[in-house]
């Protein structure tokens, strides 16, 4: 067992514990201190639970690199088997016992090495403490390992791979000229000489500090901290392998370049599919480079068309480079709405037969073809590429299942029409996803009107693992780089932790709170704030903000600015106001909403004819004449907006409020709305805000005077009122965009 380390004592100590806990004891552990603090590394090595006769220590004054350190460690001891135990990874206690046992068994004689399933662990390092954030299965659908697939991508981490020493000696060790991806090249060379078996047990833990900026550089994974280097060397390593072996690996060379996997002959396809019905779902990888090259050529052919309409419509688009990545190709494919003809090694009919849900989408015109679906969605959903063998996959549905088998009405939903039809748009927000809750109307509507993609989840019905995986896949497909959670629930917290682990370092996570301190009488709200601050402190969240002005001055850890809410992006329609003066209180019964004071003040106003209310105030009739009062019920959506449009004034003079969406919805239809002092600094000099603010929140007689003042303007000078509202909305939306852009670091 070789452990390479450099100035990572916290990690090395965990690696030592991992090895010391093994139930198999016939081993030698070699630590190679590659240019780090020798004294500290040696101290951890000496204090480990590994007996002194089973450990070696090597130290390089200057770093020689990971692969050179690996070769040093291998040469320092003799053994039948070798495994690289990186200093930041760990094993389950039976890893060695079960992997060695497998290779020593009768079945194991077929293989030169064995790989176990792994667990991906997301973590960060804070003040010499490892904080575990989340974990998920990693490559746990792996059932076999073939060379052409490994040429496409590396399938397993070193921590999960135990192999026979004599195969390593045939290869000549690890390539010391590579700064990264040496294990991938080694795996390809290994498969040229021997097979690798799979032990389907999660015995290896693949640890990642995948939150950028939250962990010191020395503790970062190379795959996270040196992402650009990995991208650069991907082609170099693959090409180097092919050049080395072109003489004795012509078939592999062809597979890697063309992406075509030689499937069974046509006469066997039907039987192969029939036999596959009884097999469990196996996640296989497409021969990615072939499909990618095919798609690039199709897009470039479309852009090169000499048709006038094509030239004009796509004049700003440039042909793709031959080495373009999927992240570049798929958005362009979607923009062009192009049907990519299936290549010869893709069985279109078999794919549609295997996946009836896709076939239905194609029939309905929602998908261009089965191959288009595979390119855009199927690759990420784990669907089997149609090259002759298929296993039906469960229908992909972003909805939670109810016990009765019916689809949940509060399952996760992306970009539904109600959440997008009244949204604003702004540059850069196509990379933003807002996450809100079905059940929380006000916050949901604040989310709906903001620019960016939308995801609705339930505050109460938990999302299962498959649902979380599909959410992560859709986020990746959309190219999201910022995720902003609006309001916080235990479900949102669980999803946040999962996505932080699944999406890696290129996605940042934020949260907007719509809570004010008056709500702290509910202990739940304080618990939520405490959890948010903890998530921010440990780097799970990149930022927390509030729609309450100066909330960050009171609660340390919040962004110091104020998130400005958007009003719905709908046209303001004139001429719908009722001839008599009607005012509308669309409020719940409750002291914070202040329904009674609003109704009493409106009834006292001399210029008001009718007072409409969503909830009848029980018992008020015993002490007051309610002749003006009319019950219209609790309204939502278009009905709510219509009722506001018929009114001269909407009453939202509450005792505890941030930036009420009810007011903004009322403004959007051209009706003023009365609130208590919101004190948003950006609108300190706004004439509409001054007109629509009351300081008489618990005095109906004085509130009546404020209501009369607004109604007089609406009745006597409607054009002035319409102008004030239009001006306010224009400035509000500018402020709102800037506040979100600053907070989300766009």
Averaged over successive runs of 10 residues, the pLDDT of the chain (746 residues) comes to 94 94 95 94 94 94 92 94 95 96 93 94 82 82 81 87 95 89 91 92 89 54 52 74 60 41 32 29 36 78 63 66 68 84 79 83 88 79 53 34 42 87 93 92 92 92 88 91 93 90 88 87 82 88 93 90 94 83 88 90 95 83 85 80 92 89 93 94 94 94 96 93 94 95 94
Cα separation, 691 vs 707, whole angstroms: 10
**Among 514, 491, 503, 516, residue whose Cα is nearest residue 542:** 503
- For the record, the structure tokens of 69 come out as 């350190």
- The pLDDT score that the predictor gives to residue 633 is 76
Give whole-number Cα distances, 386 to 146, 160, 180, 258, 347, in Å. Answer: 18, 30, 33, 16, 5
Instruction: Give the whole-angstrom CA distance, residue 119 versus residue 135.
Output: 7
CA angle (46 as vertex; 40, 51 as ends), nearest 5: 155
DSSP state of 374: I
Structure tokens at 506: 């290129």
Rg (CA), the chain: 32
Q: In this predicted structure, what is the pLDDT of residue 219?
A: 58
Closest CA to 647 of 670, 620, 677: 670
Rounded Cα distance, 270 and 213, in Å:
52
Instruction: Check residue 426 and give its pLDDT.
Output: 94
Please give the pLDDT value at position 249.
Answer: 43
Q: 193: Cβ–Cβ under 8 A, 6 or more apart, which residues? A: 112, 167, 170, 171
The sign of the torsion formed by the CA atoms of 148, 151, 154, 158 equals positive
pLDDT, position 569 = 93
Residue 199 contacts residue 98 (beta carbons within 8 Å)? yes
Please give the Cα distance from 542 to 503 (Å, whole number): 14
Count of Cβ atoms closer than 10 Å to residue 701 Cβ = 10
User: Which is nearest to 594 in space by CA: 696, 445, 453?
Assistant: 696
pLDDT at 601: 95
Q: Count of alpha carbons within 13 Å of 169, Cβ hemisphere only? A: 8
DSSP H helical ranges for 479-522: 490-503
Which DSSP string corresponds to 571-637? ----S-S-SS-EEEE---SSTTTTHHHHHHHHHH-TT--EEEESS--TTGGGTS--TTEEE-----H
Whether residue 611 contacts residue 628, with contact meaning beta carbons closer than 8 Å, is answered with yes
The pLDDT score that the predictor gives to residue 443 is 92
Residue 626: C-alpha distances to residues 302, 607, 618, 633, 673 (Å):
70, 16, 11, 16, 22
Q: State the DSSP code for 408.
A: P
Place of tokens 């599919």: 273
pLDDT at 122: 85
> Taking the CA of residue 636 as centre, how many other CA atoms within 13 Å lie in the half-sphere pointing to its CB?
8
| Residue 473, SS3 per DSSP | helix
Q: Which residues contact 432 (CB under 8 A, 6 or more apart)?
A: 451, 452, 453, 480, 481, 482, 483, 484, 740, 744, 746
How far, in Å, CA of 611 to CA of 589, rounded?
A: 16
Rounded Cα distance between 225 and 221, Å, is 6
H helices of 134-249, in order, are 147-152, 165-171, 182-193, 222-225, 227-245
197 token code pair: 């078996």
What pLDDT score was predicted for residue 552? Answer: 87
Angle (nearest 5°) at CA 241 between 223 and 76: 70
pLDDT at 334: 81
3-state helix, strand, coil in the chain (%, to 5): 45, 15, 40
Under DSSP, the state recorded for 88 is T
- According to DSSP H, which parts of 355-459 are helical? 356-363, 370-373, 379-381, 417-420, 441-449
Q: How far is CA 320 from CA 225, 295, 297, 333, 576, in A?
A: 28, 10, 8, 11, 52
**Token couple for 499:** 């996505």
Is 29:241 a contact under the CB 8 Å cutoff? no
Tell me the pTM.
0.49
What Å distances lie between residue 26 and 96, 113, 202, 662, CA to CA? Answer: 9, 18, 22, 71
Q: Which two tokens stand for residue 539?
A: 């780097």
How far lies 334's CA from each of 311, 368, 413, 478, 526, in Å? 18, 11, 20, 10, 44
User: Rounded CA gap, 541 and 339, in Å?
Assistant: 39
Taking the C-alpha atoms of residue 576 and residue 141, their distance in angstroms, rounded to an integer, is 60
Task: Say if CB 146 and CB 232 are below 8 A apart.
Answer: no
Positive or negative, the CA dihedral 360, 364, 366, 372 is positive
């Amino acid at each position: 067992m070789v452990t390479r380390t450099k100035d990572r004592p916290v990690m090395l100590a965990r690696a030592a514990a991992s090895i010391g806990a093994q139930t198999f004891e016939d081993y030698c552990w070699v630590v190679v201190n590659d240019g780090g603090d020798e004294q500290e590394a040696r101290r951890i090595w000496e204090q480990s639970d590994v007996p002194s006769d089973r450990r070696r220590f090597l130290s390089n004054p200057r770093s020689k690199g990971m692969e050179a350190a690996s070769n040093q460690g291998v040469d320092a001891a003799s053994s039948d088997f070798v495994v690289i135990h990186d200093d930041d990874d760990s094993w389950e206690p039976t890893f060695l016992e079960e992997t060695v046992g497998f290779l020593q068994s009768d079945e194991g004689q077929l293989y030169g090495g064995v790989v176990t399933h792994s667990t991906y662990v997301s973590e960060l390092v804070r003040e010499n403490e490892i904080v575990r954030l989340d974990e998920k299965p990693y490559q746990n659908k792996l059932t076999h390992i073939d060379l052409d697939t490994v040429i496409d991508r590396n399938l397993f981490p070193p921590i999960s791979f135990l192999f026979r020493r004599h195969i390593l000696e045939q290869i000549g060790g690890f390539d010391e000229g590579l700064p990264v991806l040496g294990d991938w090249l080694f795996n390809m060379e290994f498969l040229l000489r021997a097979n690798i078996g799979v032990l389907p047990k999660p015995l290896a833990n693949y640890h990642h500090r995948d939150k950028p900026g939250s962990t010191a550089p020395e503790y970062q994974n190379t795959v996270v901290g040196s992402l650009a280097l990995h991208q650069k060397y991907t082609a170099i390593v693959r090409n180097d392998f092919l050049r080395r072996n072109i003489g004795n690996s012509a078939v592999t060379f062809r597979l890697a370049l063309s992406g075509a996997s030689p499937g069974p002959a046509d006469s066997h396809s039907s039987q192969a599919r029939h036999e596959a019905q009884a097999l469990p779902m196996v996640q296989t990888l497409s021969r990615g480079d072939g499909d990618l090259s095919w798609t690039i050529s199709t897009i470039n052919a479309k852009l090169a068309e000499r048709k006038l309409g094509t030239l004009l419509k796509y004049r700003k688009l440039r042909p793709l480079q031959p080495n373009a990545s999927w992240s570049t190709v798929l958005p362009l494919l979607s923009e062009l709405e192009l049907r990519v003809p299936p290549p010869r090694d893709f069985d279109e009919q078999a794919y549609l037969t295997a996946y009836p849900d896709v076939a239905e989408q194609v029939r309905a015109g929602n998908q261009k073809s089965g191959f288009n679906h595979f390119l855009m969605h199927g690759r990420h959903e784990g669907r089997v590429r149609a090259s002759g063998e298929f296993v039906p996959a469960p229908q992909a549905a972003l909805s939670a299942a109810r016990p009765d088998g019916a689809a949940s009405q509060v399952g996760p939903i992306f970009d539904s029409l109600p959440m997008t039809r009244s949204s604003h748009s702004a540059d850069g927000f196509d990379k933003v996803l807002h996450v809100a809750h079905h059940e929380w109307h006000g916050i949901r509507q604040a989310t709906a009107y903001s620019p960016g993609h939308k995801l609705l989840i339930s505050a109460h019905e938990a999302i299962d693992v498959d649902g979380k995986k599909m959410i992560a896949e859709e986020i990746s497909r959309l190219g999201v780089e910022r995720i902003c959670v609006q309001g916080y629930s235990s479900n949102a917290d669980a999803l946040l932790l999962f996505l932080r682990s699944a999406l890696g370092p290129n996605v940042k996570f934020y949260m907007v709170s719509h809570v004010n301190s008056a709500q702290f009488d509910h202990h739940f709200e304080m618990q939520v704030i405490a959890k948010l601050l903890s998530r921010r402190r440990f780097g799970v969240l990149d930022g927390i903000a509030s729609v309450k002005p100066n909330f960050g001055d009171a609660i340390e850890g919040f962004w110091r600015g104020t998130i400005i809410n958007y009003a719905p992006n709908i046209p303001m329609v004139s001429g719908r106001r009722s001839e008599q003066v009607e005012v509308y209180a669309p409020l719940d019964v409750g002291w914070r909403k202040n329904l009674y004071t609003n109704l009493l003040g409106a009834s006292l106003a001399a210029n008001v004819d009718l007072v409409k209310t969503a909830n009848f105030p029980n018992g008020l009739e015993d002490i007051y004449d309610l002749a003006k009062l009319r019950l219209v019920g609790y309204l939502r959506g278009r009905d709510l907006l219509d009722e506001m449009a018929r009114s001269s004034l909407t009453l939202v003079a509450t005792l505890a409020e941030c930036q009420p969406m009810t007011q903004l919805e009322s403004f959007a239809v051209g009706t003023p709305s009365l609130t208590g002092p919101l004190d948003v600094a950006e609108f300190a000099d706004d004439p509409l805000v001054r007109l629509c603010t009351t300081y008489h929140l618990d005095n109906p007689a004085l509130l009546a005077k404020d209501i009369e003042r607004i109604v007089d303007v609406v009745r006597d000078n409607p054009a002035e009122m319409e102008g004030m509202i239009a001006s306010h909305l224009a400035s509000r939306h500018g402020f709102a965009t800037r506040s979100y852009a600053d907070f989300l670091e766009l």
